């Protein structure tokens, strides 16, 4: 355990911080974007300039994207409209459940329970 004598005083810490100010500023300035004339070193992918694509590549990418979106739409439609119709019993049950839920929500939103 450190004793109070071993710990530096706040004034000493402040003096050391002021002395290291230039070093810290230089270290922080290192990471900034380079000037126009300077050569660029390694850069993370999100900082690299974008490469322009050829027109054919762009069209091919858009074609693939359009096809993917159309396939997804077909899957969505197919999921909503199954080939086999629902049984009559399940339709009646669902309709009754919907009616009950609607009536309950009307009662819940009104002041009927206060009377």
CA distances from 8 to 3, 15, 17, 51 (A): 11, 11, 13, 54
* Tokens 């100010």, residue located: 21
Structure tokens, 13? 């810490």
Q: Cα angle vertex 73, ends 71, 76, to 5°?
A: 110
Tell me the residue range of the domain where 67 lies: 56-81
Query: Does a structural domain hold residue 9?
Result: no
User: Whole-prediction pTM value?
Assistant: 0.33
Domain count, the chain: 1
Q: Who wins on pLDDT, 94 or 77? A: 77
Residue 8 falls inside a structural domain: no
Residue 94 lies in a domain: no
Kindly state whether residue 74 falls inside one of the protein's structural domains.
Answer: yes
- When pLDDT is cut at 50, 70 and 90, the band that residue 92 belongs to is low
Q: Which residue has the tokens 């009646």?
A: 92
């Amino acid at each position: 355990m450190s004793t109070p004598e071993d710990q530096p005083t706040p004034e000493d810490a402040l003096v050391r911080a002021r002395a290291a100010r230039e070093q810290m500023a230089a270290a922080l300035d290192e990471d900034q974007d380079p000037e126009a004339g300077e050569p660029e070193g390694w850069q993370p992918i999100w900082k690299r300039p974008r490469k322009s694509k050829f027109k054919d590549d762009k069209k091919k990418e858009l074609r693939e994207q359009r096809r993917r979106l159309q396939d997804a739409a077909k899957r969505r439609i197919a999921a909503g409209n199954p080939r086999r119709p629902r049984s009559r019993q399940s339709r009646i049950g669902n309709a009754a459940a919907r009616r009950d839920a609607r009536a309950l929500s009307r009662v819940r939103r009104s002041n009927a329970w206060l009377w």
